[in-house]
Amino acid sequence: MSTYKAPLDDLRFGLYDVLGAEALFARLGYADANRELVDAVLDEAARFTETVLAPLNRVGDEVGCQYDKTTGSVTTPPGFKEAFDKFVEGGWTGLTNAPEHGGQGMPALLGGVLTEMVDSANLAWGNFPMLSHGAVKALETYGEDWQQDVFLKPLVAGTWTGTMCLTEPHCGTDLGLIKTRAEPIADGKYAITGTKIFITAGEHDLVPNIVHLVLAKLPDAPPGAKGISLFVVPKFKVARDGTVGERNAVRCGAIEHKMGIHGSATCVMNFDGAEGYLVGQPHKGLQAMFVMMNSARLGVGVQGLGLSERAYQNALRYARERLQSRSLSGPKYPDKPADPLIVQPDVRRMLLTQKALIEGGRLLSLHAYSLLDVAEKATDAGERERAETLVSWLTPISKACLTEWAIENTYNALQCFGGHGYIHEHGMEQYARDARITTLYEGTTGIQSLDLIGRKTAATQGAGLKLFLAEVEAFAKQHEGDAALAEFIAPLRAKCEEWASLTRNVLQRAATNPEELGAASTDYLLYSGYVVLAYWWARSVAAANASQRPQPFKDAKRDTARFYFARVLPRTLAHKAAIDAGAGPLMALPDTGFGPQ
C-alpha cells in the first residue's frame, strides 16, 4: 500500500535556508507571513494532505468519476466531496488570494508549497481546485468591476470552482482555428455556442456552480488568433447583481476514459447558446487566457514534482525493506538471509537520480513562485520587471522539465519494486500512469520548448537567460574562495558559458533557417533544465553548509550534489550534440520516406 509523508524538512530548507523566505516576505510587505505562521501553515497542510487526501488516492483511481448521460452530471469518487468541503472549511482555497476578495493574502510561494503536498497526496483530487486560481487571476486582471464583485468571492471561497475552456475537437494548440461562436444578445450578454474538449473539472458534484472561462469568436472577429475573445459562462446563470438564476445552456456531453488521473473529471462541454459575458476587450481573449495558462503551467510542473516525491518515498521504503541477494562487495547485513535492495549500485542509481531531480526541481519550482511574489509586491519597478521577465522565462522550463522528470522518476520508482511495481496492489503503476498526462496538458513539452527558445529567447534577445546567468555568476563570485564549493562552482561556470554560446549559435542558424529553432527546441529546453538544476544544487550545498542543520543533512546535500554533477549533468553533452547537428538530419527525409501511406 502506498503511503505519503510531507517532506517538511526539505521544504523548510528550501524556503528558509536557500531562498530566505522570512526576509523576502518581510521585504515584500507580507506582514503576517512570519516564521511562526508559515510553519503552522506547513504543519496543517501536511496533516490535511497526509490524513485526508492521501487515503483517497487509490479509490479515486479505482472508482474514478461517473458520468450520467441522461442528466449530463458527473459524480466524483467516494470521499472526494467530503475532502473538498474540509478544504474549503480550512480556508485553503483562498490562501494566496487578495483579502478584498475574501482571500488570506499569503505569498504565492506558500501556495506553491501547499500545491506540492496536495498533488503528492492526490493529484486527481487536486485538479478540481487548481484551475479556480487561474480563473481568479484572469478576472482580477481583465474583469470589469461588477464581474470581480460577483464571481471572485465565491471562487476564492471555494463555494464555486472555475475552468479554462480552450481546446476543441478539431484544434488543440492552434487556437486560431476555434469555431465556438459568441453572438451579442440583450443587456450586454452573449450567446456562446460550440464544443470544448479536455476540460478539467468541467462538471462535478463538489460545488453548485462552475464558472467557465471560454474562448470564442465574435461575428466581426478577424481570422486566426487575433479574433479570439474571452467570456465568463457560469453553469447557472448569474445576473450583474450576483443573483443566481436558472440552469445555463451548457452541458457535459461526456467524460474522457483516460490512462490515469481517473478521479479527475475531464469533460466534453457543449455550449448551446449559453449566456455569458465578455471579459476584457473584444478580440483580446488570448492575452487574458494566458494569465490563466501561465498559472496553470507552473501548477502542472508542481504536479510532476508531487508525483515524483510520492513515488520516490515508496521506492525508498521498499528498497530498505526488501531483502534480495547480497552486496557485490560482500554481505552488508550478515545476520539477515539477504541484503536489502538499497545496497545494489543500480538501485542506488535509480534512487539517487530521483532524489537529485526532486530536491533540485523543488528549488526550481519554489524560485519561480517566489518571483511571482516579487513581481507583484516589490516596491521598485525595475525589480518587478526583472522578476516578471525571469519567471516568464522559467515557466516553460519548470513545466516541461518537472513533468518529463516525473515520467522518469515514477518509472524508476516502479522499477525499484521489480515485478511488484507492475501490479496494482503497491500503487506504483498508478503514479506512472498519472504522470503521463503532465507532459501533455497545459501545453505539451514540445510547446513549452518552442515557447522557451522562440518567444522567451529569440524574441527577447535572451533577456531571461541573461538575468539567470547574471544570478549564477553573482553566486559564483560570492563563493570563489570557498574550498567546500570549488568542485561545483568551476563546472557550473563552464556549463553556463557553454549555454550562452550554444544559444548564440542556434539563434544565428535560425536567422537563415527558421527550422533550426524547432529542431533544437526540446534538446535546448532539457539542456537548460539540467544547467538550472546544477545551479540549485550548488546553492543547496552552500545553504546547507551555512545552516544549523544536522551534519547528516548537510552531508546528504553534498553527496547528492556530487552525484548530480557526476551522473546527471553530463546528459547535457548529448543534448548539445543533438542541437549542434542542426535541422538537416530532422528535415531531410521526405514525408513519403517514413513508410507506406
Positions annotated as catalytic residues are 442
Going by the DSSP 8-state scheme, the letter that residue 418 receives in this structure is T
Count of H-run helices and E-run strands, the chain? 20, 11
Phi, psi (deg, nearest 5) at residue 453: -80, -25
Radius of gyration of the chain (CA): 24
CA atoms of 183 and 273, how far apart (whole Å): 8
Kindly give, in sequence order, each residue whose CB lies less than 8 Å from that of residue 257, ignoring residues fewer than 6 positions away. none
CA atoms of 63 and 12, how far apart (whole Å): 35
Going by the DSSP 8-state scheme, the letter that residue 205 receives in this structure is S
Strands 73-75, 229-234: pairing is unpaired
Rounded to 10°, the helix 108-142/80-89 angle is: 90
Work out the number of other CB atoms within 10 angstroms of the CB of residue 100: 12
- Angle of CA points 397, 444, 395, to nearest 5°: 25
Strands 160-165, 209-216: pairing is parallel
Residue 356: closest CA among 498, 538, 510, 517: 538
The position carrying cell 538530419 is 585
Q: Can you list the alpha helix ranges (DSSP code H) found in 479-514?
A: 486-512
